[in-house]
Amino acid sequence: MFDDFFIRALVTGVGIAIVVGPLGCFVIWRRLSYFGDTLSHSALLGVTLAYSFSLNISLSVFIISAVVALLLINLQKRTKLAGDSLLGLLAHSTLAIGLVLIGFLSYIRFDLMGLLFGDILAVTIEDIALVWVGGFVILGILYFIWKSLFSATVNYDLSAAEGMKPEVSNFIFTLLLAGVIALSIKMIGALLITGLLLIPAATARNISSSPHQMVFLATIVGIISVITGLFTSLELNTSSGPTIIVVALILFIVCLLYTSDAADEEDS
């Protein structure tokens, strides 16, 4: 029999994997990996403010991530800098501000490693409820804007011409990314959540033949990564968050080798 904390970690991790699978596919399709990284870096500032003003961590992270996303949209209209330059500016600025604030808050005990790399084994019943209820809301909204968002991903101008309001769906998707990072910060950590968004989706991209199949496979790969990573971390006494990401990476490499071998057989 497993301890209660391990069961809670499994339930929470599976909930996160189910949410990040579909969102990660859109991150891959829209080439927004650096954007996801920017939001995850800004999460540290959100956590710092939460400790400073006794706020809910998930709410604080969501607000800061949403503000960063709005800043990016505004800066893109006001400057001639390329998108990747703006993302780099925002990512490192928010991360640096968060770390500086931590230095000032010496009277508060910070688990910096936990903030950066997560501690899924420390989740509570309230965290489980937050992940599953919040995840259900995020997936529901994603389902509602799916057609418009996917159309804008394929051809933005055509989507706008057909009256699908791609700007609105893009903005909502940005908030959904901020939401999933807010839900995951405590479990996966600020520096690893982007890996859980990207790697399962990238793995699914190599072995899928349609968008819906990619979403399904990304979710399955994420769930396998979480479950295998947690059991491996328990057996080897390693950090749970990084172990989950390493398992996801191994699955990516295995699938990549499999597809490469299949392609070589077809060529021969």
Q: Given a cut of 70, is residue 109 above it in pLDDT?
A: no
- Mean pLDDT confidence for 25-30: 88
Q: What is the pLDDT of residue 248?
A: 93
Q: How confident is the model at residue 103 (pLDDT cuts 50, 70, 90)?
A: confident
Q: What is the pLDDT of residue 111?
A: 61
Q: Are 117 and 242 in contact (CB under 8 A)?
A: yes
Which has the minimum average pLDDT: 53-57, 120-124, 187-191, 205-209?
187-191
Q: What is the pLDDT of residue 261?
A: 60
> pTM for the complete prediction?
0.84
Of 105-109, 174-178, 217-221, which one has max mean pLDDT?
Answer: 217-221
pLDDT tens profile 147-165: 888 888 888 777 878 777 8
Mean of pLDDT over the chain? 82
Q: How confident is the model at residue 220 (pLDDT cuts 50, 70, 90)?
A: very high
